[in-house]
Structure 1
Amino acid sequence: MALKNYKNTSFYLVISVVVIAIFRLMLTAAIPLLDKTESRYGEIARIMFETKNWVVLQIDYGIPFWAKPPLSTWLSALSFETFGVSEMAARFPSYLLALVLLIILGKLAKKESISFYLPAFILLTMPEFLIHAGVVSTDSALNFSIALIMVSFWKAMQNEKYSFWNYLFFIALGLGFLSKGPIILVLTVPPIFLWILIQKISIKTLYLKLPWIFGLLITAVISIPWYILAEKRSPGFLDYFIVGEHFNRFLVPGWKGDLYGSGHSQPLGMIWVFLLAFAFPWIQIVLYKIWKERKTIFKDKYVSYLIFWLFWTPLFFTISKNILHTYILPATIPIALLMIHWWKNYEKKKLMLIVGSVFPALVILVFFGAFLTGKLNFYMNSDKYLIENQQIDFNKNESLYYWKDKSYSGQFYSNGKAKTIADTKEMDSILNSGNKLFFILSNKKKKDIPAEYQAKMTLLDSNYKSAIYLLKPE
């Protein structure tokens, strides 16, 4: 009976992982790049691909983007080089990074005689990880780097001789600096330090376990050249990125220095709500297990290491008001590793698998429900279909305009051809140009357009937030 249950569970894991992974890959092509964040990074990568400027990221032609390092943009731009410009190509690198993580964790699970597919099932049924397994985001590269750092450090501490893991630690550190900057140190060094302190590991042991001199040289070679080149070609980058993005963003509520958007002000401690919601249901299971074994939990070196890794990120962001739910992404990996470590001791495995399947099942149902009812395009937070349905030919005196601010999806899907109209005076000039004029206007901004100009607008198409019009002289 036990063997039969094991086979049934294994079959369920394999089928579930394959179905969810294929569905997630399909979503990378089926859903347009969404405003604001995803389409913004997609457009930055598209501009990099078009201009071949691999050093200075640009949020628009000639306008530098100082907020993030280049790793995720490089990956998307290289994907464009390989597959052409599309939403799937933009997202494919993050899908690939997630896949690599699942393989690494699967191999770790297999060494403990646990199904190779269990960590993949746990992570792909966790909302935050599933979302990021195929979005254009710097957080995917950051999470990948953090996971490699933490896993390789643990492996290095267990090995008597140097192996690939000892050097991977420093390689991943370099990638971390290129994925999101010095925050990589903030999110990895403290949990490692606390674990070393609790486990009373000597400085000598720590020194001997890792090739510090050669390793830090590897980190420097990977990361420092880009920072030097970026500052040289775009002066002011280092001050904005280091001080603004790493201190002011988190310590100054509603930080006004953000050049690329408004701060995401949240109540203090909101990160814990995000953790409970976006790591469901596995974080609840892990928390229960930790509480149940709280008196002996830190006697296990491996478990204590994972606990420090898991809780450090939300602890760090507890005092920050400018946060997003994406900040809990680094906590998903230790949650999965803790579940793997304790899996054999759990009695209600089937129930866990069923509950874990709820979120991806809902996502699949909602997606196909929206698709079959024809409402999918209408509810997408993107201007893709407004633009593509009109088949605008920018080479034949046809132009696309936005009122005051253009969306990033509008920039991406017009291949950078979308322009803005600042005021009615500029609109008068454009109306006299003789071109065929398409005009995208958000529903909220329509009231800002004087009535005499609205009379010149012919509605062509719309979605839940915007509409596209044909502008014509009276």
Structure 2
Amino acid sequence: MVAIEQKFDTAGRQEVPGCFALTFSDQRFFILAICAFFAVRLLAILWWPFTDSTEARYAEIARKMVETGDWITPQFDYGIPFWGKPPLHTWLSALGMKLFGVGAFGARVFIFTASLGVLSLLFSWVRRHRGPDQALVATTVLASSLMFFGASAFVMTDMVMLLGTTLSMIAFYNYMVDGPSRSTWGRWFFVGIAIGLLAKGPVALVITVIALAPWLAVTGRWRELRGFPWLSGMFIAAALTLPWYILAEIKTPGFLRYFLIGEHFQRFVVPGWQGDLYGSGHEQPKGLIWLYAGATFLPWSLFALPVLPRAAACIRKMTEGDRGWHSYLVLWAVAPLVLFTPAANILPAYALPGLPAAAALLVSLWSQVMGRPGWWARCATIVAIVFVGLAFLSVTILARYQPEAITHRSERALVTAAQSYDPDIQITYWGGRSFSAEFYTRGQVQFTERTAAFDRLQDNGTHDAVAIPASRASELAPFLGPRFGPAGRFGPRVLFVEDFGREKTQ
């Protein structure tokens, strides 16, 4: 049974409306649930292969940073700068590989650390304003939501940016409601802005402003910003971000124009934007971000439906005891959705910055509307474990013990098979570029779409392998000559190895 308690300040006013107290068994259940998700994600860090194109691309960019020693300009290919994103996430992956070796764990470990930072920030913040038990449930909700769980150790920009936006939003709210430590929280707000600017760019600042500006207007608290540490805070943000932006433009002129105009304007307003130097635009119907948001918050978005009829009343509550809590969470949750509603070039991960607020909002509203979190929270968490945890665990086990079953978007199994014949084998791919093939061969892979390139593989003094799409294997195999034989099919490709008859290297 869950006991509901109301907390009061020294003046007798209700301070934490709707706060609830969990029984010991409930607390233990949620702690075990978080540990279970942690264990599954840790296995995936070690066993899950890099897949094309997003994660493999960023992992390969980080690997090139370690190999070349160039920590200023990330490289899309050797000598070709990557202007698409700032380097903070690349620095984290490169540092991990520098410390732990070039591999999946090194590339992912500090991204995973960033996700733990987000969970810690959410827990400490909700505990401060709504009590430890509500904080525990909210943290469980966020950790087990589909997008957060998947992105928590995924080599990409979004989780690191989420750390920055979460820190900024939490620090700003604490500044507005706390007394003695106001200036400190104000400066932490700018540290979060700096993290966002180095992780993904000005979009992090825009999302934060979209959430804060209407909240200040609705609550009428603009005057309280007079004491905000603007000068020291902006100095901190500038000191943390400007050196890299300046050095990047000096080292590769043209970066700022492409990054600020192309990546932050044309990418989102131009359908099927053709100016992308590193891929192609993802043309989607405008407004699709709202559907993406519901999908990224699964399975918890389904459990939000029962509180919707009462949600508006709770959000309008602006009493002294509420301190604008619900309105703050709502605006934080929808800020990225508002920003990307008119955008034609979007991905589901763009909804990620609002998920911490969505988790806290769901738990807070349910505690007020339903009043008894025990049974629903346990059932919902079990659903999340089955829906997210077990599904992810199953695929992770397959990746470890039957890699051929999930080779459609990763070249790890093919590269491993080729290298079993000769660790120094030279692999040539027919067709487009594969970042996972580049990563697993440490950049020692070639790509071609010309059969004339096969002639150079004959008697060149090296042991060669060729990966050909299965749909074209019968057509292209004759061009390889009799020295090559099929070594197996790996996802959509067939591997041909030179001197196939000789024994594998032990």
For 1:415-447, what per-residue CA distance to the aligned partner results, in whole angstroms no more than 9, with x for missing partners?
111112241222212334232111123335647
Q: Which runs of 5+ in 1 are unaligned?
A: none
Question: In 2 relative to 1, CA 199–5 (structure 1 residues): closer, same or farther, beyond 3 Å?
Answer: closer
Cα distance change on mapping 1:443 and 1:315 into 2, 3 Å: farther
Gaps of 5+ in 2: 4-20, 319-323, 501-506
Q: Deviations over 1:73-116 (max 9, x none)?
A: 00011111111111111111121111112122222333323325
Aligned residue in 1 for 2:298: 280
Task: Identify if the C-alpha distance between structure 1 residues 428 and 213 changes in structure 2 by more than 3 Å, giving closer, same or farther.
Answer: same
The answer to whether the 8 A contact 2:367-2:373 is kept is: no
**Residue of structure 1 in register with 2:210 after alignment:** 190
Report the alpha carbon displacement of residue 372 of structure 1 after superposing the two structures with TM: 6.5
Does 1:120 pair with 2:148? no
Residue of structure 2 equivalent to 1:330: 353
Decide whether the 8 Å contact of 2:299 with 2:383 is kept in 1: no
Counterparts of 1:296 and 1:357, CA distance in 2: 27
Match of 1:132?
A: 151
Match of 1:382 in 2: 410
Change (3 A) 1:2 1:169: closer
Change (3 A) 1:275 1:458: same
Number of the residue aligned with 1:342? 365
SS at match of 1:117: helix
Partners of 2:249 and 2:256 within 8 A in 1:
yes
State how far apart, in whole Å, the 2-side matches of 1:190 and 1:83 are.
39
Match of 1:257 in 2: 275
**SS class of match (2:23):** helix
1:447/1:356 CA distance change after superposition, 3 Å: farther
Counterpart residue number, 2:49: 32
1:56-205 to structure 2, matched below 5 A, reads 56-111=73-128, 112-115=130-133, 116-161=135-180, 162-202=182-222, 204-205=223-224
Q: Deviations over 1:30-83 (max 9, x none)?
A: 111111000100000011011110001101111111100000000011111111
SS in 2 for 1:265: coil
Partner of residue 339, structure 2: 316
Q: Any idea what SS the aligned residue of 2:167 has? A: helix
Q: CA RMSD in A?
A: 2.5
Percent identity reads 31
Is 1:216 equivalent to 2:243 in the alignment? Answer: no
CA distance in 1 between partners of 2:48 and 2:461 (Å): 35
| 8 Å CA contact 2:183, 2:229 repeated in 1 | no
Report deviation, 1:394: 7.8
- Give 3-state SS (helix, strand or coil) of 1:320's partner: coil
**2-side partners of 1:72 and 1:190: how far apart?**
24
CA contact (8 A) 1:367 1:376 kept: no
The CA distance in 2 between the partners of 1:205 and 1:323, in whole Å, is 36
TM-score by length of 2: 0.87
One of 429, 450, 470 as aligned partner of 1:402: 429
Give the Cα–Cα distance (whole angstroms) in 1 for the partners of residues 376 and 472 of structure 2. Answer: 49
Aligned 8 A contact 1:9 1:350 in 2: no
Counterpart for residue 351 of structure 1:
376
1:288 shift after superposition: 4.5
How far, CA to CA, are the matches of 2:375 and 2:333 in structure 1? Answer: 25
| Matching of residue 241 in structure 1 with residue 264 in structure 2 | no
**2:455 touches 2:480 (CA, 8 Å); kept in 1?**
no
Can you list the C-alpha shifts for 1:198-245, whole angstroms capped at 9, x where unaligned?
Answer: 11223x42121x210111011111111111111111111111111110
Distance 2:147 2:277 in 1: 27
**Contact persistence 2:118–2:162 (CA under 8 A):** no
Query: What are the within-5 Å matches in structure 2 for residues 300-315 of structure 1?
Result: 300=318, 301-315=324-338
Specify the SS of the correspondent of 1:438: strand
Contact 1:402 1:441 in 2 (8 A): yes
CA offset at residue 406 of structure 1? Answer: 2.9
Change (3 A) 1:442 1:123: farther
* One-letter amino acid of the structure 2 residue matched with residue 123 of structure 1: L
